[in-house]
Amino acid sequence: MPELPEVEVVRRGLERWVGGRTVGEVEVLHPRAVRRHLAGGTDFAARLKGHRFGIARRRGKYLWIPLADSDASVLGHLGMSGQLLVQPEDAPDEKHLRIRVRFEDGLGTELRFVDQRTFGGLSLHDNTPEGLPDVIAHIARDPLDPEFDDLAFQTALRLRRTTVKRALLDQTLLSGVGNIYADEALWRARLHYERPTATLTRPRSAELLGHVRDVMNAALAAGGTSFDSLYVNVNGESGYFDRSLDAYGREGQPCRRCGTPMRRRPWMNRSSYFCPRCQRPPRATA
DNA sequence: AGATCGCCCTGCTTGC
DNA sequence: TGCAAGCAGGGCGATC
């Protein structure tokens, strides 16, 4: 389940392995993998061919590769199970290979988008004046972006009439936080996921943001989180941050701070993991 | 207009 | 054993 740190690992891999290369033949093997490219897979392949890849960029969980010789970018999202692999051209196709990008050089490797559940995909878009693919203009900067505005985030957070975990997952408020790192940051901040955002003081929201950054940086340093074979970085190597998780997936196991068994609660068609002692639920609001 | 919810998808796990 | 339900869940669009 790639979140920001995993996507950043993939971005670095793309920068290293496909940056500067010129695209040759492109094969779209599953229409759903290009569903955001409204003109369809044939158009996607035709428009990509012959263009040279620039340096891969990232915002939150979105990746894009600017085309060095045009004002457009290839946008990618890994969704739940997506992988971007640089493979030898003669390597056997993966079972869930969705898109293949060949290059017009003699390096002998190709870029593959592999995705079991097809929540992710690739598409081509014009850039905004800021160099962002136009369809992700609404995605907020992420906490690792040097231009992320901490004070503006804290103000916006307090103005929201919602609960803190919903806010952390809102990609228009800040991007890159998914279910895993939301639970990790809330555990570190000792905040219950249903705490109303309006009740967070400025120091408290600053502390929470700090924990979001800390957990992302720790995951990034470890090469990304992985729970199973679904997540693989651009070189085909799994991350291993999962051993360091304090909250996510630890139902029934002792809280690493106080020893109380961790709990899991259904939440928004997914799960929230928390310590019932360290993360007290807010008082019921009428 | 901000907040919320249903839906998309596949494979592994669980339970009867 | 076999089948069905549950679970993983990001993001978008519809709805309130």
pLDDT value of residue A223: 66
- CA A192 / C1′ B4 distance in Å: 20
pLDDT value of residue A62: 94
pLDDT value of residue A211: 95
- CA A81 / C1′ C8 distance in Å: 10
Catalytic residues of A: 2-3, 61, 270
d(C-alpha A14, C-alpha A280), whole Å = 42
pLDDT value of residue A229: 45
CB atoms near residue A279 (< 10 Å): 24
d(C-alpha A11, C-alpha A26), whole Å = 20
- CA A177 / C1′ B13 distance in Å: 27
Rg (CA), chain A: 20
Q: How many CA atoms lie within 13 A of A238 on its CB side?
A: 12
Is a pLDDT exceeding 90 seen at residue A3? no
Strand C closer than 7 A to residue A271 Cβ: yes
Chain center to CA of A65: 15
Dihedral (CA of A175, A181, A184, A187) sign: positive
Is a pLDDT exceeding 80 seen at residue A267? yes
Strand B closer than 7 A to residue A195 Cβ: no
d(C-alpha A197, C-alpha A200), whole Å = 6
Provide residues 67-86 of A with CB closer than 7 Å to any strand C atom. 77, 79-80
Place of tokens 């228009």: A172
- CA A85 / C1′ C16 distance in Å: 43
Tell me the pairing of strands A263-267 and A121-126.
unpaired
Q: How many CA atoms lie within 13 A of A208 on its CB side?
A: 26
DSSP assignment of chain A, as one string?
---HHHHHHHHHHHHHHTTTPBEEEEEE--GGGGTTSTT-HHHHHHHHTTPBB---EEETTEEEEEBTTSSEEEEEE-TTTEEEEEEETTSPPPTTEEEEEEESSSS-EEEEEEESS---EEEEEEBPTTS-BGGGTTSPPPTTSTT--HHHHHHHHHH--SBHHHHHH-TTTS-S--HHHHHHHHHHHT--TT-BGGG--HHHHHHHHHHHHHHHHHHHHHT---SSTT---TTS----GGGG-SSTT-TTSBPTTT-PBPEEEEETTEEEEE-TTTSPPPPP--
Confidence band (pLDDT; 50, 70, 90) for A228?
very low
pLDDT value of residue A270: 86
Provide residues 241-260 of A with CB closer than 7 Å to any strand C atom. 248
Least confident range from A40-49, A113-122, A218-227: namely: A218-227
Strand B closer than 7 A to residue A109 Cβ: no
Strand C closer than 7 A to residue A263 Cβ: no
CB atoms near residue A178 (< 10 Å): 21
Confidence band (pLDDT; 50, 70, 90) for A220?
confident
Q: Which residue is nearest to nucleotide C10 (CA to C1')?
A: A79
Any residues with CB less than 8 A from the CB of A13 and at least 6 apart, and which?
A84, A86, A233, A234, A235
pLDDT value of residue A226: 47
